[in-house]
């Protein structure tokens, strides 16, 4: 299974025996009940729920199943969210906090049910989570989180130790969290969707959409798809829209490693640093791995992303008797302006639905999005509709800050650009290295492959005109403004951009 970066995640080498296939193709003369755009956790789960509810669904994925963040997840399932409950309660009231906790519970329960019903070994397990404070300030926040979590209806209690030997001043346990093998689970969902009659179209990028009287006309390279409902399960909706302003793109880092002493921790463990770090054990195949993650930063704001892995590895070696770092990978998530994702009806668009802004709770909120959107479609309402509505107005003040924060990076990054001529560029660029250069009034993103081949593409992101920056560990061009990502040769990896960076022939520039 492939994903949107050079590094391989733990899940890519452990797919189920089933490989998703185009099961019969699309009938371009037919009007489908729903077109789901995006073949990750959100799209596949939505497809299963709607197809099994009796709708006739088509799922279009621009690359392959799980290609985006779903195969870059660490696949922990939580009611303990990245946005702490004291903040949720403050912004959305106690009833809102209780609904968020309930949303997490429903998502974990659905994964538990689906994994119990498949023959694919998804290694789903219910786990207890430890949240650990190392300082007095963290302990105060921990107490507030525990009290607000109890008010939200979760089971939480103080503890005096943690299965991971983190610096420990105080700790709190949260019951009934979960974890799963993401690759196996995605495959099981794809299989279930196709077995119930759904059709998956891989390598199908959705481009233009147009609303006819009672259905959408959706352009793809292969033809025009017709569907009564359109569901954007693309992590961030494609194109220029309000969600690029409401959600800020972040990169997160993970490693999976084996232990020399065999003392694998039983449970999920989180510290309270900002950004926080987390740890858990996952069995895949016949081996156990500890997954550790963290060191998040805004997309495009880190000049040497490979160095982040060195810091992460140094941290895990301080806490564990590491035998082998088997996998390392990074992935993208979107931070919503007010702390809760945007899930539901797409503002101003008829029979269109969207789910985005999951923070670091992607597998949980992706699964929950499928529940909420399928409720809206099948029954016309949901108790969660108002809380998660993409039309809610709360984010405006925060959104302004996000836009400013996202825009500032361009000048900063440009400060380090080369001013060079072609000869020195070609000779001085090391194999595997890349630069953005200002050249004859144009900005070029230039990458030199390990074999010495030069790739030169326009450094200006086609989404909204920001300049991309190089991600040296994933070998990608990342846009700091709204998180579009492109391969070293300029081809589109993930939106919101709808097209890649155009190539340029150096001899003609």
List of residues contacting ligand FES (CB under 6 A) = 244, 461, 463-466, 479, 481-484, 496-497
Residue nearer to ligand FES on the CB measure, 334 or 439: 334
How many CB atoms are closer than 10 A to CB 122? Answer: 24
290 vs 444, beta carbon nearer ligand FES: 444
Residue 461 CB, shortest distance to ligand FES, in Å, is 3
Q: Which two structure tokens, joined as six digits, stand for 409? A: 């990076």
Minimum Å distance from CB 41 to ligand FES? 22
Question: What is the nearest approach in angstroms of ligand FES to the Cβ of residue 296?
Answer: 18
> Minimum distance from CB of 482 to ligand FES (Å)?
3
Q: How far is the CB of 443 from ligand FES (least distance, A)?
A: 13
145: closest CA among 74, 97, 75? Answer: 97
Q: Which is nearer to ligand FES, 238 or 267 (CB)?
A: 238
82 versus 478: smaller Cβ distance to ligand FES: 478
In sequence order, which ranges of 118-256 are alpha helices (DSSP H)?
A: 136-151, 182-195, 243-246
Q: Cβ closer to ligand FES: 431 or 465?
A: 465
CA distances (Å), 421 to each of 104, 149, 428, 504, 506, in order?
55, 59, 11, 16, 11
The nearest distance, CB 300 to ligand FES, in angstroms, is 9
Decide whether 120 or 337 has the Cβ nearer to ligand FES: 337
- Strand arrangement of the beta sheet that strand 442-448 belongs to: 418-419, 434-439, 442-448, 454-458
Residues 344, 347, 352: CA angle, nearest 5 degrees: 60
Q: How far is the CB of 447 from ligand FES (least distance, A)?
A: 18
338 to 232, 276, 342, 379, 388: CA distances (angstroms): 21, 19, 10, 28, 11
Count other Cβ atoms within 10 Å, centred on residue 238: 25
| Among 109, 281, 114, 283, CA closest to 185 | 114
How many C-beta neighbours within 10 Å does residue 369 have? 31
CA angle 268/275/416 to nearest 5° reads: 140
Q: How far apart are CA 396 and CA 392, in angstroms?
A: 9
Quote helix, strand, coil % in the chain, to nearest 5. 30, 30, 40
Of 244 and 369, CB closest to ligand FES = 244
Residue whose tokens read 């000869």: 423
Least separation in angstroms between residue 81's CB and ligand FES is: 26
Do 325 and 345 contact (CB within 8 A), yes or no?
no
The smaller minimum CB distance to ligand FES, of residues 170 and 493, is found at 493
Q: Tokens 């998502």 identify what position? A: 107
Q: Which is closer to ligand FES, CB of 316 or CB of 459? A: 459
- Calculate ∠ Cα 325-328-332, nearest 5°: 160
- CB-CB neighbours of 29 under 10 Å: 7
What is the number of other CB atoms lying within 10 angstroms of the CB of residue 421? 11
Of 62 and 201, which CB lies nearer to ligand FES in the complex structure? 62
Q: Are 181 and 114 in contact (CB under 8 A)?
A: no
CB of 497 to ligand FES, least distance (A): 6
Least distance from ligand FES to the Cβ atom of residue 239, Å: 10
Minimum separation from the CB atom of position 264 to ligand FES (A): 39
Choice between 174 and 413, CB closer to ligand FES: 413
DSSP 8-state code for residue 69: G
């Amino acid at each position: 299974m492939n994903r949107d970066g050079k590094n391989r995640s733990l899940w890519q080498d452990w797919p189920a025996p089933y490989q998703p296939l185009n099961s019969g193709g699309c009938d371009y003369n037919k009007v489908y009940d729903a077109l789901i755009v995006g073949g990750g956790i959100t799209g596949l789960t939505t497809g299963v729920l709607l197809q099994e509810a009796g709708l006739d669904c088509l799922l279009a994925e621009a690359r392959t199943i799980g290609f985006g963040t779903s195969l870059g997840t660490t696949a922990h399932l939580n009611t303990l969210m990245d946005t702490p409950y004291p903040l949720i309660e403050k912004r959305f009231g106690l009833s809102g906090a209780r609904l968020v906790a309930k949303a997490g519970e429903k998502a974990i329960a659905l994964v538990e049910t689906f994994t119990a019903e498949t023959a694919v070994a998804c290694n789903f397990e219910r786990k207890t989570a430890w949240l650990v404070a190392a300082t007095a300030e963290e302990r105060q926040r921990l107490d507030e989180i525990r009290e607000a979590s109890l008010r939200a209806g979760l089971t939480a209690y103080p503890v005096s130790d943690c299965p991971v030997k983190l610096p420990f001043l105080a700790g709190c346990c949260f019951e009934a969290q979960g974890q799963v093998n993401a690759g196996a689970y995605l495959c099981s969902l794809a299989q279930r969707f196709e077995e119930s009659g759904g059709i998956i179209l891989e390598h199908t990028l959705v481009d233009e959409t147009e609303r006819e009287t009672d259905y959408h006309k959706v352009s793809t390279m292969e033809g025009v798809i017709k569907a009564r409902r359109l569901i954007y399960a693309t992590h961030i909706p494609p194109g220029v829209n309000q969600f690029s302003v409401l959600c800020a793109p972040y990169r997160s880092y993970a490693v999976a490693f084996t232990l020399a002493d065999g003392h694998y921790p039983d449970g999920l463990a989180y510290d309270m640093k900002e950004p926080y770090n987390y740890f858990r054990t996952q069995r895949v195949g016949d081996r156990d791995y500890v997954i550790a993650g963290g060191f998040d930063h805004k997309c495009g704001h880190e000049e040497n992303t490979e160095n982040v892995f060195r810091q992460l590895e140094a941290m895990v070696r301080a806490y564990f008797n590491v035998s082998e770092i088997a996998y390392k990978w990074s992935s993208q998530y979107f931070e919503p302006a007010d702390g809760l994702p945007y899930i539901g009806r797409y503002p101003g668009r008829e029979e269109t639905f969207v789910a985005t802004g999951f923070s670091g709770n992607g597998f949980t909120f992706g699964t929950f999005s499928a529940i909420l959107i399928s409720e809206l479609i099948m029954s016309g309402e949901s108790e969660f509709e108002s809380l998660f509505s993409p039309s809610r107005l709360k984010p405006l003040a925060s959104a302004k800050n996000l836009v400013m924060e996202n825009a500032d990076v361009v000048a900063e990054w440009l400060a380090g650009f080369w001013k060079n001529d072609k000869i020195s560029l070609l000779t001085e660029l090391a194999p595997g290295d890349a630069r953005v250069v200002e050249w004859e009034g144009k900005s070029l993103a230039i990458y030199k492959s390990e074999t010495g081949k030069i790739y030169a593409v326009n450094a200006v992101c086609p989404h909204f005109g920001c300049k991309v920056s190089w991600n040296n560990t994933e070998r990608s061009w990342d846009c700091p403004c709204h998180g579009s990502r492109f391969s070293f040769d300029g081809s589109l990896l993930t939106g919101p951009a709808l097209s890649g960076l155009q190539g340029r022939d150096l001899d003609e520039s």
